[in-house]
Chains A and B, each alone.
Chain A
């Protein structure tokens, strides 16, 4: 048994399959950032920090004639989204019920995806992570209120990246509202806005809850580095006679290698 303590939970193997596949379904849709940045790992639960290849300023040493410098590392964030399921519901699953209520799991999956997307694009000070949008040296392209103007704004953003020598294909990360406007709207010329945008980008438009302002970034690789320690997994915490407390957990770090390879729309 590993640190997830799954064997101690009052769940049958069918229950676990149900919970795991539901988690995979929800997460694969909402993890927009993973569809846009490079992914390394998983490197394991014991992996605690990302090597940055750099050293800090010299520190005093107890013996003369020694130069001592600390290695700089980026710690992995260990993040956990807890949720409780009704044991009655899970038992119904063992009888073959097709509509087992897993809503608390769905909420937790979305929370965790939102957190991951936010860390990647907006950074996370407490862990020393700088986000894609935060790192960008380009002045944000004003997006305006009218989503029908998006193609022009996105083309402007792509042009800025090309001027900086950043090759495509490019991707676009959109939060809830902007994504609805883009997928539901047209460009006033008859073509769906989504198709128009994908043609400009040469890459995908991804629903990325938690991203905040829209971000255009290069997908050529090597620019944005997501490092996974323990990849997403469901673990067990505690149970009572009526409920079981589980959690979704992962460890990760994120760093930007090429700040100019992305630009935000404000």
Chain B
């Protein structure tokens, strides 16, 4: 059997890899930049092929997310049902900050050089149309542990549950096949964490450290991280797909975890954050946050591959001859689409970081 080296574009459940890069960009406001970004996004698939063909077996994949602020200008479409800028969640003690970010590139591969090469080409193609606001290189740490020493990502859905939990379906037909993605960069107060006993750490996480086995949920009082991030309602348990990565630089005292969650419903991830930061009951926040500080927070919609590749075919202000079904546009645009034919300006409000500056390590 020959190895097919290329993972389909925008496949959110691409294999868990040894390395990944999380690149967050903002798009300049002028029309020229928006057009340049549109064309670069449509060409992402080709760039991935260019790189992965040279590195067979490296499992290179790239997922692109587009933020609410630029969605309509870039795609000429109405916003997906749940898409909106990251909403800050302020608990009594800790805050999930909202920071700028219009585009997310989630680059995964088994080789760091391959991730690097794709990022280099992407940034080169986008040129001055975008500004990098955050860039994190993550790596797998032993048996998929975070830098706190615990195994991370165990609760991911598998089998038929995976698409059910992560891919938009008939509830939003225009955007069926896409996903919502939310990212946050956390930095750890590692020394304080290591001062705890293993039993204290296990109580906070809700898992045994050595063998990753879940502890029983407590019935009342302070709940474990594992319990707070389990969302259950009348429809059962709502899962999300995580592909978190540790990152760090011991020389400069930086130790972190980059959280990335893909979901069919953005509200599920937001609910998890609310339970962590506000607490359940309110006031009893996730104790993990006493040792992990959210430095960034952004969310995006991951359009299906055909929609992304078709971006180049649809301008923001098409003349009406484009309305006749013809070759080219891969987008299924409903005729009632309200943004069509406009200049696509929409909202110009950008989320502003409040308490912390993105990318800075806490004291």
Contacts and interface: CB of A to CB of B under 8 A. Distances in A.
Nearest to B35: A21
Interface residues on A, range: 35 or more
B233 to A, nearest CB: 25
B31 A24 contact: yes
Contacts of B346: 39, 41-42, 228, 231
Interface residues on B, range: 20 to 34
A24 B343 contact: yes
A226 to B, nearest CB: 8
Interface string B30-44: 111011000000000
Interface stretch (B6-14, B283-291, B334-342): B334-342
A16 to B, nearest CB: 6
A45 B336 CA distance: 9
Nearest to A19: B317
A25 interface: yes
A92 interface: no
Contacts of A39: 346-349
Contacts of A2: 320, 323, 340-341
Given A20-B316, A34-B348, A42-B346, A231 B339 contact: yes
Contacts of A7: 319-321
B319 A13 contact: yes
B347 A27 contact: no
Interface in A26-40: 27-29, 31, 34-39
B337 to A, nearest CB: 8
Given A13-B319, A204-B352, A41 B338 contact: yes
Contacts of B344: 24, 231
A25 B73 CA distance: 13
Interface string A220-261: 010000001111111000000000000000000000000000
A229 to B, nearest CB: 8
B345 A27 contact: yes
A1 B349 contact: no
Contact of A6 (B29, B319, B347, B348): B319
Contact of A233 (B87, B341, B348): B341
Interface string B319-363: 111010000000000001011111111111110101000000000
Contacts of B343: 20, 23-24, 27, 231-234
A6 B320 contact: yes
B32 A169 contact: no
B31 A1 contact: no
Contacts of A38: 347, 349
A189 B90 CA distance: 34
A202 interface: yes
A28 B32 contact: no
B345 A230 contact: no
B30 A25 contact: yes
A203 interface: yes
Nearest to A29: B29
Q: Enumerate the 5 nearest inter-chain pairs by beta-carbon distance, A residue then B residue, closest first.
A: A39-B347, A21-B31, A44-B338, A1-B320, A24-B31
Interface of A: 1-2, 4, 6-7, 13, 16-17, 20-25, 27-29, 31, 34-39, 41-45, 47, 168-169, 202-204, 219, 221, 228-234
7 contacts: A1-B320, A16-B319, A21-B30, A41-B346, A44-B336, A202-B352, A231-B344
Given A24-B31, A25-B30, A169-B354, 15 more contacts: A1-B323, A6-B320, A7-B321, A20-B343, A27-B345, A28-B30, A28-B348, A38-B349, A42-B339, A42-B346, A43-B338, A219-B349, A229-B338, A230-B338, A234-B317
